[in-house]
């Protein structure tokens, strides 16, 4: 395997990791605020903050990892995306900054504040929407280079059915992933009241998730034929994704094996995400950046991969320790520690 393929695979794995952990976080923020305005906050907020407090900072690193990695492996992406995305990415940074710091302010610093809660909930939906547009742009047609000047075609972007269906898909997926995770976490905590509530959320957001996946699929067909036909060749990967979705839904509906249900949701998104990614290749930004022509020098690429392996040897045991202490320690989850 060439170092370019290894590089993009590694980055894609991390982006997938970010999608999962960030979805739990973003969705939880929204649910916490929703519960507050429907006066059900006493039921689930304790649960949410017990999980999120030790891990929110780790979530952020997944994201940093991805964008540092993509610029490292494919420096030309800094040139194209960096120039075109100044405004939207700056707005995303500001949203992330508000969210991250306000989470700390709210949970460790002050008494409950409605303003913080609102901002925390609202950014939980706005951030996935704004970040997902970077994926939209990678399909081409939105970032244009003319006479050596790179610019973003805002009008194209805001009038494209594809870009809106991606935004919609991002938001509902976040809510679905988060709700299924919270269902699992509430079940572990033996918190029946919270479980009833979040299970309802999970069942509710399942339908829009699968509908949005379909519409995005169709809209992509209109926007980028090459990518669409590549996806068609990988039809079985998307079939697996739908299969795991059905399993997850069935388990949650039957009120058992919530852990397995959440794993199924992770697999559902794993296959969809990797099917999408694999069919996107060799382009990173259609038609300007491909993984072969625009990769970094071989020596740097190999050094990055070596560091990556060394880093994983350090990270995986640490992450397991973190999960053991806060996710799989029944006493902690129940609030006894």
Q: Which residues contact other proteins (rule: CB under 8 A)?
A: 53-55, 57-58, 60-61, 63-65, 67-69, 71-73, 75-76, 78-83, 85-87, 89-91, 93-94, 96-98, 100-101, 103-105, 108-110, 149-150, 296-297, 299-300, 303-304, 307-308, 311, 314-315, 318-319, 321-322, 325-326, 337
Least distance CB 36 / other proteins (angstroms) = 20
What is the closest distance, in whole angstroms, from the C-beta atom of residue 81 to other proteins in the complex? Answer: 7
What is the smallest separation between the CB atom of 264 and other proteins, expressed in angstroms? 26
Minimum separation from the CB atom of position 289 to other proteins (A): 11
Closest CB to other proteins among residues 239, 287: 287
Q: Which is nearer to other proteins, 34 or 329 (CB)?
A: 329
The residue among 91 and 242 lying less far from other proteins, judged by its C-beta, is 91
171, two tokens: 């938001």
Question: CB–CB of 176/206 below 8 Å?
Answer: yes
Helix axes 41-73, 192-223, angle to 10 degrees: 40
**What are the residues whose beta carbons fall under 8 Å from the beta carbon of 328, sequence distance 6 or more?**
none
Using the minimum distance from each CB to other proteins, give the nearer residue, 64 or 211: 64
Q: How far is the CB of 217 from other proteins (least distance, A)?
A: 30
Q: Give the nearest distance from C-beta 83 to other proteins in angstroms.
A: 5
Q: Strand, helix or coil at 144?
A: strand
Query: Between the CA of residue 15 and those of 107, 120, 167, what are the distances in Å?
Result: 27, 22, 17
Residue (142 or 258) nearer to other proteins, CB: 142
Kindly tell me which of 39 and 297 has the beta carbon lying closer to other proteins: 297
Which uninterrupted H or E stretch holds 283? strand 283-285
Torsion on CA atoms 302, 306, 309, 312, rounded to nearest 10 = -110
CA distance 96 to 135: 18
Query: Read out DSSP for 156-177?
Result: HHHH-HHHHHHHHHHHHHHHHH
């Amino acid at each position: 395997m060439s170092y370019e393929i290894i590089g993009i695979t590694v980055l894609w794995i991390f982006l997938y990791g970010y999608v999962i952990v960030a979805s739990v976080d973003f969705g939880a923020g929204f649910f916490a605020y929703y519960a507050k305005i429907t006066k059900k906050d006493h039921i689930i907020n304790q649960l949410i903050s017990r999980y999120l407090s030790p891990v929110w900072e780790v979530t952020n690193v997944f994201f940093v990892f991805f964008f540092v990695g993509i610029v490292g492996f494919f420096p030309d992406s800094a040139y194209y995306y960096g120039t075109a995305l100044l405004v939207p990415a700056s707005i995303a940074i500001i949203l992330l900054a508000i969210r991250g710091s306000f989470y700390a302010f709210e949970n460790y610093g002050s008494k409950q504040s409605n303003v913080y809660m609102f901002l925390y909930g609202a950014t939980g939906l706005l951030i996935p929407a704004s970040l997902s547009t970077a994926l939209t742009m990678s399909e081409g047609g939105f970032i244009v280079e003319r006479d050596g000047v790179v610019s973003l075609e805002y009008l194209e972007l805001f009038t494209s059915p594809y870009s809106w269906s991606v935004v919609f898909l991002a938001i509902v997926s976040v809510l679905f992933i988060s709700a299924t995770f919270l269902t699992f976490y509430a079940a572990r905590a033996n918190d029946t009241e919270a479980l009833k509530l979040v299970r309802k959320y999970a069942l509710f957001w399942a339908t829009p998730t699968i509908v949005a996946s379909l519409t995005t699929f169709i809209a992509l067909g209109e926007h980028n034929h090459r990518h669409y036909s590549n996806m068609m060749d990988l039809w079985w990967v998307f079939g697996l994704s739908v299969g795991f979705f059905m399993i997850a839904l069935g388990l949650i509906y039957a009120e058992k094996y919530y852990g397995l249900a959440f794993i199924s949701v992770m697999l559902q998104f794993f296959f969809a995400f990797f099917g999408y990614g694999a069919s996107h290749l060799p382009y990173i930004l259609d038609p300007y950046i491909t993984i072969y022509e625009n990769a970094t020098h071989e020596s740097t690429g190999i050094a990055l991969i070596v560091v990556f392996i060394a880093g994983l040897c350090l990270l995986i045991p640490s992450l397991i320790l973190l999960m053991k202490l806060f996710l799989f320690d029944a006493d902690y989850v129940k609030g006894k520690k």
